[in-house]
Structure 1
């Protein structure tokens, strides 16, 4: 979905590329040396404009037909008239398109144009199936559609795109969706194709997956097809509309509305009447839901403003109450001063008691000095990390500035720095923790059964199991936080805790509580 939104944002780039290509074709037409070359150059322009702007496509059809009659070449005339019928069908002028095709005798169509002839008849029949209201009209046009589709399939090479698309369509109409998916996936895996062809194949594949009831695959291929349509800068398409309908059914009203609006804008610019009618069937429903959602959001904002206003009133009341309490506190302070004078006499009596506590205070001071040292060590480590990351940033910036993109990619993909820093971090953690709790390993082993004792592979370096319970001793008991600290999954941490509890002496449920007592004076 993010790729589709990115493509929409970059659409001006693709449209600019399309216009540049059209300008090259116009230049080729202007440079054509004879009528034959001009005829083929007009055909190239027609092919590009038909899914882009049918008005321009129709104009090139007219020019091509005039040129064909000028040359008197019967094959050019047939080709040009079929072009006109094709464009008329795409803009909804089905009767006019049929009149042209019916006026062309079948036996006068050159062999190489027969697939095009059958394609146009098949396509117009498909439009009429959708357009018909009565069942008998739909059935009649379906029979015509199937006849010309079979004729088209008989002429197309089995490895051609046209054959694959029509054959998969036939499989789908016969409810053989699995076969349709198979030939489409095989073609995609073993052939090269244009961006526009990719859009057609993905749309056909989405229809097959829809028949199989695989909504995720249907959506995936509609996304692929929509992206390809936009990158190819065609404006007569169906995938984005179909994707919008699917998203609307899933409750994603914002994206559905945006995609339908884009599809409608393109259909209008292309003057693709059939696509406009298709979008008009669903757009009012989606737009009404979108408007309702906007109104609902506004209502929520209004309620939020009311709640905030009420809270502001309570805040003012609270401030007034605090001011009142401050006044009371001032009076209490005066009374406390008087009481303080009385307490001076008690201070003399406490002096002797303070002397007896001096020795204990010295021990506490020593412990504080140790903790301060470890805090300083961690602050120093943080400073080192900042310097390392700054050096890393400068190195990346240097690579960018000198254009060494390959080296930059290699550096960004490397995890060596992360792994080294993690090893250093865990070494520092082990060292610091064992200084705070030098007997932790021995005390912890006393909580385990004799056959489950933990022996360190390297002096001063904890294993993962000990680190888990070291963090628990420090008060970090949430498995999610422990997993984040040790870079393991929550499931792995949970398994470590359960496995170790099963090794405990006595009541297993009390193991972690007993770990919390390690290093305390009561042990």
Structure 2
């Protein structure tokens, strides 16, 4: 059971840390955005001051109350904005109060003077004025203000001196003055709520979370500067991201109220520096030193300038380290890029070689396919021609057999005249015509587009077409035999019963009129497509 509770507490703690980190980072983003609008806030404040100064200029010198009121308002505008201007107007307030014998206003003005002298590091002058005031003659309200001012003055000296021997005495005196002020004027409910953040036993009260105090500050009807002061005070009760949360809140409202006399931005930069967030720390430290110089806070300027070089040095080291890492990364990237480039070159070469081999294989396959087609075509032509020869031979054998029997029969009977007459009835030319007609029919069955394809190679006026009733004429028949693969002129001459010179003349005459070169004509004839329309099928 105890282990389960520990796990639950651990998980809740982790969730709280992540929530606080997210909230503080969100406020830091808002703060950076507000820094870009700082000049606008300052310009608005200066316009308010100018309007008040014009009203003061037109106020009668005899109207002391009105003069004091306007000087007080101008002082309040300058109080945390510019020390030298605030000093001028608080001195005017003291002079007016003394001139018109306003004792309460005089003491109040001197207390205001102590406050700005303390803020600007004029501790000696502030102590002189503090020592000249008789605390016993003050009202409870002024006595409380006096004690709080003296407490802050001693705390400021202790922080500025930061000495092991003298600083503790200043801190003890500061604590006594705060206690005395509490006794004179007890804290109100809101102040008591804020004091709970500093309870030693705060851990025993789980409801007293940073969110509790954050919400309490935001919901309280405070001025911009008031929110910044309370948030800065609460930040001392926390560390880490919780402290960043309150300091960022304080810095945001200091910018919005044009407060230059501020610790929040400096403390935020220092806290971020301790968290090794150097870049953000440097940005806020720069803002803090600009504000301190603008206000005229010598003590704060010195304090910041002792730390700022450390932050800047760390930032430079971090940037150098990042540049080194970037250079190393870039170098590794270049090495990888070079290796990948060479691998890509090698791959490309291999790829191109493979593509070339594939192309060569495709070409070889096409050649093989073409060769196979030619072989198949040649085989089919031979089959057709063999069929034609067998059929023709069979017919002639049958005819010769009839002639033999008829002739022998007539000779046996002694009818020699009848035998002679029978032999004279056999027409060789007619038999040749039948043979050529059969050859033409077989050829045109295998090459039905031959005549059209042949004439496409000739000019229109030179084209050769069969006459009516013809299948092929002598010229077409010569080139038909060439398409069948019979290239020798002697073989063509024997088949067609022509002389070799006649075959040569026919061929030469056609080639000379062709639309293609004479040397390519027979090749184009061989390209006429074969159709497997089997004559004997």
Q: Which residue of 2 aligns with 1:297?
A: 322
Q: Equivalents in 2 of 1:133, 1:251: separation in Å?
A: 24
Q: How far does the alpha carbon of each residue in 1:450-489 deviate from its partner, in whole angstroms, 9 at most, with x for none?
A: xxxxxxxxxxxxxxxxxxxxxxxxxxxxxxxxxxxxxxxx
Q: Which residue of 2 aligns with 1:27?
A: 54
Deviation at 1:217, TM superposition (A): 2.8
Q: How far does the alpha carbon of each residue in 1:164-222 deviate from its partner, in whole angstroms, 9 at most, with x for none?
A: 59x829x83x7465699699569537631111111112222222233xxxx33322222
Q: Which residue of 2 aligns with 1:194?
A: 223
SS at match of 2:85: helix
Between 114-123 and 321-330, report the one with greater CA deviation.
321-330
SS at match of 2:253: helix
- Cα 1:310–1:18 change in 2 (3 A) is same
Q: Equivalents in 2 of 1:114, 1:10: separation in Å?
A: 39
- Cα 1:129–1:197 change in 2 (3 A) is same
Q: How far does the alpha carbon of each residue in 1:55-101 deviate from its partner, in whole angstroms, 9 at most, with x for none?
A: 21112122223333333433333333333222211111111110111
Q: Which residue of 1 aligns with 2:263?
A: 238
1:53 pairs with 2:82 = yes
- Cα 1:159–1:332 change in 2 (3 A) is same
Q: Equivalents in 2 of 1:57, 1:82: separation in Å?
A: 13
Query: Which consecutive residues of structure 2, in runs of 5 or more, have no partner in the other structure?
Result: 1-27, 375-537
Q: Which residue of 2 aligns with 1:490?
A: none
SS at match of 2:222: coil
Alignment of structure 1 residues 60-75 onto 2, 5 Å: 60-75=89-104
Q: Equivalents in 2 of 1:314, 1:216: separation in Å?
A: 46
Q: Equivalents in 2 of 1:51, 1:177: separation in Å?
A: 33
Per the normalisation by structure 1, the TM-score is: 0.57
Between 96-105 and 42-51, report the one with greater CA deviation.
42-51
Q: Which residue of 1 aligns with 2:172?
A: 143
1:265 pairs with 2:260 = no
SS at match of 2:166: helix
SS at match of 1:123: helix
Q: Equivalents in 2 of 1:315, 1:136: separation in Å?
A: 68
Q: Are the equivalent residues in 2 in contact too, given 1:195–1:232 (CA < 8 A)?
A: yes
RCO higher in structure (CA 8 A, sep ≥6) = 2
- Cα 1:189–1:154 change in 2 (3 A) is farther
Q: Equivalents in 2 of 1:122, 1:281: separation in Å?
A: 25
Alignment of structure 1 residues 439-478 onto 2, 5 Å: none
Q: Which residue of 2 aligns with 1:287?
A: 312
Deviation at 1:290, TM superposition (A): 0.5
User: What is the total number of aligned residue pairs between the two structures?
Assistant: 340
1:340 pairs with 2:357 = no
Query: Which consecutive residues of structure 1, in runs of 5 or more, have no partner in the other structure?
Result: 349-523
Q: How far does the alpha carbon of each residue in 1:463-520 deviate from its partner, in whole angstroms, 9 at most, with x for none?
A: xxxxxxxxxxxxxxxxxxxxxxxxxxxxxxxxxxxxxxxxxxxxxxxxxxxxxxxxxx
Q: Which residue of 2 aligns with 1:154?
A: 183
Per the normalisation by structure 2, the TM-score is: 0.56
Q: Which residue of 2 aligns with 1:131?
A: 160
Instruction: Decide which structure has the larger Cα Rg and report it.
Output: 2
- Cα 1:136–1:315 change in 2 (3 A) is closer
Q: Equivalents in 2 of 1:288, 1:268: separation in Å?
A: 21
Q: Which residue of 2 aligns with 1:12?
A: 39
Deviation at 1:149, TM superposition (A): 1.2
Deviation at 1:147, TM superposition (A): 2.4
1:228 pairs with 2:253 = yes
Q: Equivalents in 2 of 1:175, 1:48: separation in Å?
A: 38
Deviation at 1:308, TM superposition (A): 5.2
Q: Equivalents in 2 of 1:282, 1:63: separation in Å?
A: 37
Q: Which residue of 2 aligns with 1:370?
A: none
Which of 254, 276, 281 lines up with 1:251 in the alignment? Answer: 276
Q: Equivalents in 1 of 2:301, 2:202: separation in Å?
A: 28
- Cα 1:201–1:134 change in 2 (3 A) is closer
- Cα 1:331–1:141 change in 2 (3 A) is closer
SS at match of 2:238: helix
Deviation at 1:294, TM superposition (A): 1.6
Q: Equivalents in 2 of 1:30, 1:112: separation in Å?
A: 32
SS at match of 2:188: coil
